[in-house]
Amino acid sequence: GVTSLSTLAPTTSGWLNGLNDLFKIVERPSERGATVLEAPVNQNGLKLYIAIDADSFGHVQRPGNGGIRLLNYESIDDAIDDAVRLAKGMTRKHDMFRTGFSGAKVVIQSDHVDLSVIERKGLMEDAAKALHALEGSMYTGC
């Protein structure tokens, strides 16, 4: 199973390694100030990325918060860049309004030209499983 994030120390070397049971670590926080995880999706042509601003990931006292974006990005790198940018933007919003949250974002990259062919209920169930596994380190909606 997935290691409880509340027991992980963000300053410990390799603290993200406990997530490998469910997530693929795409980017570590030292690179751009955000952790980016890839979560499994049970539909072809979709990739789900979760970006959590380094200010919040693994800190129970300041969980990440942000929405879900589904787009046809030109590349996976574009999707990841957008997720990091949006997570950092959410941190600024939460800081301005003193919500107690930091920034995070779920970005779903689609290979489908017609997004209406995506089975949305299943996709949201996959996203919910990933968020549940993060044990309160990220919430959607505000």
Question: How many domains are there within the chain?
Answer: 1
Which CATH number covers residue 109? 3.40.50.10860
Q: What is the pLDDT of residues 76-116, one digit of tens each?
A: 999 999 999 999 999 999 999 999 899 999 999 999 889 99
Give yes or no for residue 73 having a pLDDT over 90: yes
State the residue range of the domain holding 50: 5-139
Distance, in Å, from the CA atom of 119 to the CA atom of 99, rounded to the nearest integer, reads: 33
131 or 17, greater pLDDT: 131
pTM of the model as a whole: 0.80
